[in-house]
Each structure stands twice: as structure tokens, then as C-alpha cells.
Amino acid sequence: MTTLEAGDVAPPFELLDQHGKPVRLADFRGRKLLVYFYPEADTPGCTTQSCSVRDHRKDLAGIGMDVVGISPDQPEKQLAFDEKYGLGFPLLSDPDHAIADAWGTWGEKSRNGRSYQGIIRSSFLVDEDRRIERAWYSVKPEDTVPKALEALRT
């Protein structure tokens, strides 16, 4: 499994958002970007994580940072999730997990003694030149935003 570290070039992506519109990493050139990967829309941990991002969007935008969330969910499910919680930022659909693979967020997980492949909840701070500034694998849902804000302060 590939893992990204500070200084690596962020793997490019072009994925459909919750409205069926393509969103590319290149669209955010010149701005910082918080990219977070989550396993499944409208589940408890993913809701905690996404609502935390929603609640801090003004703080993030105030320091010139955009946000995208990525999961294997189809755009329709992403849209329902966005509308239910008023998230208001791009939720990108990666159903074949090709982008998750490229970012090192698809891998073996286990629950109740059963192993399976899925999204490893992770977040990344990408700089204005599309380089990884910070990478957090296996991040707790409630730590996504605080870790990004702390990284920007140091």
C-alpha cells in the first residue's frame, strides 16, 4: 500500500461530486486544500467528521483553505448526505476506489474479527502547489479539522 508523506506530490484526481459535476485537484491550484477520505456517507463516524468540517468551513476559508471529502459512495448518496446535514462542500464519488488506492487510503480493515478491504479514514493537507503538507492516516473523525488547523498554526 502506498502512503503519502510531506513533500510528496498529491496524486491528481477527477471525480464526480454530489451534483454529478467533475471536480479535479487542479481546480484548487493556488489554494490550500483539506482532502479527507471517509468510508460511507451518513454513518455515525462519517457524519461526525463531515459535520465538523461543515462547522469549521468559515475558519478554514478564512485562512484560504478549501475542503473536499471522498468516499466510494455514488453521487446520489453523497447528495442525500449533503442535503441531510447541510454540508455545503464537494463530496466526491470514488466507487472503484482508484483515487483511494493512489492516496493510500484503501486497505485492509477488520471489524468483529472479520477482515475486509475498505477506506482507511484519512486526511491530507495539500499546499498551493499540490504537494502534501501533512498526512494523517487512521485519523479519528473528530480530529480531522483540529489536526489541520494545528498544522497551519505551526
Q: Give the whole-angstrom CA distance, residue 76 versus residue 120.
A: 22
CB contact at 8 A, 13 and 25: yes
CB atoms under 10 Å from CB of 130, counted, come to 16
Does the annotation mark 46 as catalytic? yes
CA triple 152-13-130, angle to 5 deg: 35
Q: Give the whole-angstrom CA distance, residue 141 versus residue 51.
A: 10
- Reference 145, options 118, 131, 125; nearest CA is 125
CB contact at 8 A, 147 and 136: yes
The catalytically annotated residue of 46, 53, 132, 139 is 46
Phi/psi for 49 (5° steps) reads -65, -50
Helix (H) or strand (E) holding 59, with range, is helix 57-62
Give the residue numbers marked as catalytic: 46
